[in-house]
Structure 1
Amino acid sequence: MKLVWSPETASKAYIDTVKSCELFNESSVAELISAMAAGWNAKLIVETWSQGGVMATSIGLAIASRHSGGRHVCIVSDEQSRSEYVEAIGKSGISPEVIVGQPEEAMSSLIGIDFLVVDCRRNDFARILRVARLGHRGAVLVCKNANSRTASDFRWRSVLDGKSRVVRSVFLPVGKGLDIANVAASGASSKSGKGESRWIKHIDRRSGEEYVIRK
């Protein structure tokens, strides 16, 4: 089983996010991420937030979770960040779960992440990706604020440390840059099936001789 795309759900989340984030400067990022999270029917949506960060993305992900019937969690590094985040997001009438702690600690209780958004401005964003416990249906990983320098130095396969297979990845010049990767469902074969060979046993009815043919 893998994540299945729903254009209708993505469209609804996109429109709702446009309405909710029209006052934010970087709403284009929020709209895109919201549509992606909802469209992939993500049941566990996780994001990281740093002090001074915009709230549009969080609002978009909260809207996406409503459409997908999922859970939205935000990870912050300390209590001061938590207070600032809760106060700011509360003005929008949204109250997502907030977890305070370092990557390994914060991720320990989050099993089966379908959609993960990290902020490249955090020094530990790569560690967060590495310790994330992704869902068995696969996952979509998003790095926001991924400027051109970060994008050129960034390699999904090295960050994921070979634990998950990257199906496809793309860098989008939206906002301050989005680096996005789609990770395969657990148990999915890393081979396309083309070029693979198999042995076929054939018995000649007339002679009774057995042949083994590689096809």
Structure 2
Amino acid sequence: MKLIWSPDTATKAYIDTVRSCQVFDGSGVAELVSAMAAGWNAKLIVETWSQGGAIATSIGLEIASRHTCGRHVCVVPDESTRSEFITAMKEAADMNPQVLVGEPEEVMSELVGIDFMVVDCKRKDYARVLRQARLNQRGAVLVCKNANSKSDSGFRWRSVVDCGSRRVVRTVFLPVGKGLDMAHVSSSGGTSGSGSSRVDKKRWIKHYDQQSGEEHVIRK
């Protein structure tokens, strides 16, 4: 089973996010990620949030989870950040999403089957968060926001995602907000961008040379 795009759900989430985020400046990121998460019908949406960060993206993800009947979880490093996040969400949109506090290795063990994930590049541990993410077997979409500075960090998608049967199918960088760097990760077993298996099954073909009478075995 693979991720299937639903344009109707994406549109509804986009419109609802636009309505909810009217009061925020530069909330284009929120509307985009909300539409993407809803369009991919994400059931487990995970994000990281930094103290003092914008709240619009979180509102968009919460709206997307409601359209997909999914779960939206925000991961923060400490109780102080958790308190600030919850207060900001209630004041801005009267929302109360689930919040987990702790180190990536600890928190991510509780989140199995992530479909859609947004990490903040302002967090020093964002690469660790991505490495620890336990993605859905059918594939996932990963988003780095505030990604303009990542070019200086030596960050590479494949250094934090590719392992075993997981592969990055495609990536794209969008100059939205302060930069969105996105990657589509394959389902378990790995697929190429065209959707075909990366490891083709080999088969043996026998060929007889009519002139020499020799039998040739070819692996194709």
TM-score, length basis structure 2: 0.88
Provide the alpha-carbon RMSD of the alignment: 2.4
* CA distance in structure 2 between the partners assigned to 1:135 and 1:84 by the alignment: 30
- Describe the shift of the 1:123–1:213 C-alpha distance in structure 2 as closer, same or farther (beyond 3 A): closer
Matched residue, 2:11: 11
The aligned runs of 1:1-215 (5 Å cut-off) are 1-91=1-91, 92-147=93-148, 149-151=149-151, 153-163=154-164, 164-189=166-191, 192=196, 198-201=203-206, 212=217, 214-215=219-220
CA drift of 1:76 comes to 0.6
Shift of 1:199: 2.1
Aligned residue-pair number: 211
Identity of aligned residues (%): 68
Q: Which amino acid aligns with 1:133?
A: R
Once residues 181 and 77 of structure 2 are traced to their aligned partners in structure 1, the CA distance between those partners, rounded to angstroms, is: 22
Q: 1:61 aligns to what SS in structure 2?
A: helix
Name the aligned partner's letter for residue 158 of structure 2.
R
Listed one character per residue, the Cα deviations across residues 112-164 of structure 1 (whole Å, up to 9, x for unaligned) are: 000010000000000000010000010000000001x4146321001225342
Asked whether the equivalents of residues 118 and 145 of structure 2 are also in contact (C-alpha less than 8 Å), the reply is yes
Q: Deviations over 1:15-55 (max 9, x none)?
A: 11000001111310000000000000001000000100011
Change in CA separation of 1:110 and 1:210 when aligned onto 2, cut-off 3 Å: same
CA distance in 2, matches of 1:20, 1:179: 24
Instruction: Give unpaired runs (5+ residues) of structure 2.
Output: 209-213
Taking structure 1 as the reference length, what is the TM-score of the superposition? 0.90
What is the alpha-carbon distance in structure 1 between the residues aligned to residue 131 and residue 190 of structure 2? 19
The answer to whether the Cα contact below 8 Å between 1:37 and 1:45 also exists between their aligned partners in 2 is: yes
CA–CA distance in structure 1, aligned partners of residues 123 and 38 of structure 2:
25
**C-alpha distance in 2, partners of 1:82/1:100?**
7
CA separation in 1, counterparts of 2:56 and 2:9?
Answer: 19
CA distance in 2, matches of 1:109, 1:46: 11
CA distance in 1, matches of 2:15, 2:70: 18
Task: In structure 2, give the amino acid aligned to 1:101.
Answer: G
After superposition, the C-alpha distances for 1:63-88 in whole angstroms (9 at most, x for unaligned) are 00011111000001100001111111
Segments of 4+ moved more than 6 angstroms: none
SS in 2 for 1:158: helix
Q: Give yes or no for contact 1:26–1:56 (8 Å, CA) kept in 2.
A: no
Q: Is the deviation greater in 160-169 or in 19-28?
A: 160-169
